[in-house]
Amino acid sequence: MNMTMKSWDSDYSTRGRLWGGGVRNLPDLPAGTRVLELGCGDGKTLSAMPSGWRIAALDISLPALRLCSGSHPQSDLILANAERLPFKSESFEGVFAYHVAGHLFLPGRRALASEVSRVLKSGGKLFFREFGWLDMRMGKGQEVEEATFLRGAGVITHYFTESETSELFCRLVPASIESNCWKMRVRGKDLVRSQIEAIFLKS
């Protein structure tokens, strides 16, 4: 077990659910769509997905998957690494990668991108979200790789640019890539959150 796995297992075991708030603007996919969620965590996104989707939800942490249990009636929970997906090629019409690639070093991000391209069916889509360079937490912690910072319990976070996102998923066709920023009030101060949101198509 590597340090990243230990960090996630420790966080989920001791703190329970880590991610609050709702998930906005999920895509409108038809009932019966075969969907893969990478890094499902404690089920924040999974629980918001429509009941008609057929979902495989994957995470590297067993304590996280235990928290996910019951989050979605049509989901299969799978303990696996997003860098080495246990699925046949062209298995899914949709892949969700929300705040998972950002917790990997560059070789891991590249492996994830390659695996996403492999398991998507022709015409399938990748839905991607990660924090951007303008985010309030960018630069905080120990920089262990360019724009990648180690904080707290040993979890790393990488902050993306639009061009980097396009380059990472160069095997896919970008349908949209945009940066979204909003303010969050913390202890009387307005702080900026920044997120890269992208959709890619497998041709």
- For 17-50, the pLDDT digits (tens) are 544 556 778 999 999 999 999 999 888 899 999 9
pLDDT at 191: 94
Look at residue 135 and tell me whether its pLDDT is greater than 70: yes
8 A C-beta contact, residue 111 and residue 168 = no
Q: What is the pTM of this model?
A: 0.91
CA distances (Å), origin 153, targets 4, 21, 122: 9, 22, 39
Please indicate, yes or no, if residue 184 is contained in any of the structural domains. no
What lies within 8 Å, CB to CB, of 35 at 6+ separation is 29, 49, 53, 54, 55, 56, 92, 93, 94, 95, 96
pLDDT at 134: 96
How far apart CA 195 and CA 191 sit, in angstroms, is: 13
Element housing 67 (H / E): helix 62-68
Mean pLDDT rounded to a whole number for the chain: 90
Please indicate, yes or no, if residue 39 is contained in any of the structural domains. yes
Of the ranges 2-16, 55-69, 122-136, 175-189, the best mean pLDDT one: 122-136
């991108």: which residue's tokens?
Answer: 113
Please indicate, yes or no, if residue 45 is contained in any of the structural domains. yes
Higher pLDDT pick, 158 / 42:
158
Please indicate, yes or no, if residue 146 is contained in any of the structural domains. no
Please indicate, yes or no, if residue 12 is contained in any of the structural domains. yes
Please indicate, yes or no, if residue 144 is contained in any of the structural domains. no
How far apart CA 60 and CA 142 sit, in angstroms, is: 23
Give the pLDDT mean for 50-61: 94
Please indicate, yes or no, if residue 120 is contained in any of the structural domains. yes
pLDDT at 4: 58
Residues above pLDDT 90, as percent of the chain? 74
pLDDT at 153: 73
8 A C-beta contact, residue 40 and residue 98 = no
pLDDT at 154: 81
Look at residue 5 and tell me whether its pLDDT is greater than 60: no
Strand order in the sheet with 142-145: 142-145, 148-151, 155-158
Please indicate, yes or no, if residue 183 is contained in any of the structural domains. no
Looking up residue 69, the CATH number of its domain turns out to be 3.40.50.150
How far apart CA 72 and CA 53 sit, in angstroms, is: 10
**Which structural domain range is residue 172 located in?**
3-16+29-132+158-177+197-201
What lies within 8 Å, CB to CB, of 93 at 6+ separation is 29, 33, 34, 35, 120, 121, 123, 124, 125
Give the pLDDT mean for 167-184: 97
What total of structural domains would you count in the chain?
A: 1
